[in-house]
Structure 1
Amino acid sequence: MKSVLIAEDHPVVRAAVTLVLEKEGFKRIHEAASVGEALSILREHTVDLVILDLVMPGGNGLDVLERIKSNQWKCVVLVFTSLDPLFFQERCMRAGALAYVSKTNNLGQLHKAVQAVDAGYTYFAQLPAGSLDTVQQSERQMIDNLSNRKLTILQYLARGVKNKEIAELMHLSHKTVSTYKTRLIEKLRLNSAVHLRDFAIRNHLI
């Protein structure tokens, strides 16, 4: 019997994904609205497929991908997110995802992706070559060199989340988050924390 986990914090999206999965024959469907819930389900249940959003409370989908890989959980991951594949697809591939579908597409793409991974294939968007200008290419290289944890903290900071809240969400100390913040500003060659949001928006990170 096929088992699946939908890791997505929006109930309406979970309901739509559930309809797709039921049509594809999945009988046991688990749901998680946060990174913590997703990891608990993966620890407690055998799951064949994970439909994973990259933007969730308690971290992000990249954290879940890392834990799946480090724990060697035998499940296939299909990323279903609003984040631009141009900036996130390759990172997800490196982390072990076998498919990447943008929420801007209709659900037909999700159907095809589920069918592909269920049959043992991958499903990724064909990205346009030369679509980034020189500045964005340079910035994308800097982003690619960030660890998943640094990228998650950058996204939180860019959304205006305070250091203390980030520390609680990611189970880190306030001092550690402050250190990451300082290093991010240096690594991304920004003048101050004020420019983190502009950088994130320009590179489709939020």
Structure 2
Amino acid sequence: MGSEKISLYVVLIVVIAVVWSIASHYNSVTIITTSQIIQKAAATNATDGVTSSNLTLGTPHLIGTEYLKTTSPKPSVVNGTHGLLVSFAGSFVLNNGLNATDTGKVFITNITGGADHSQGQGVFITKNGMATFIYLGIGPPGSSGDIGTIFYPKATGTLAYLENKIAIYKDETFKSGNAIVKQWEFK
């Protein structure tokens, strides 16, 4: 699991570097309200030809389906935030016919309004390849599933095509601890 932590730190460092780079171009901080952002976006969109009718995600393509078994949630504290830590293991059946083992962990917290926030990481492994992933999801209060995004920072061998890919996922966890996760990319 060390390589997943390293990958997560690399992503975090890149984000910090980008924010620092952007911030260093400004000598002072200007506070902009939400209303000002909306007005500026509307004015810009009106002049550059962007309309809601030509802004799309593309066509969804199923990447694959995960079939998982989860452990019992364990109360945990991460960076001062209380939540539940859950491990999972299972298989990932990719749409291209590949099968991979699937292991990882997720930290679940409650956010404003009672919704569940899931943040996790894991790895898929095939005979000739591997792919690490990190994900973030949100589920309605009291639900047993969530919807979110998955990012693949590193992938090799037969799974190399997943590297730097971002996917949308939807999952459902049953009382038995079994879970199903479907992932889509948009082209």
Shorter-normalised TM range: under 0.3
Larger strand proportion, structure 1 or 2? 2
- TM-score normalized by structure 2? 0.25
- TM-score normalized by structure 1? 0.23
Structure with the bigger RCO (C-alpha within 8 Å, sep 6+) is: 2
Rg larger for: 2
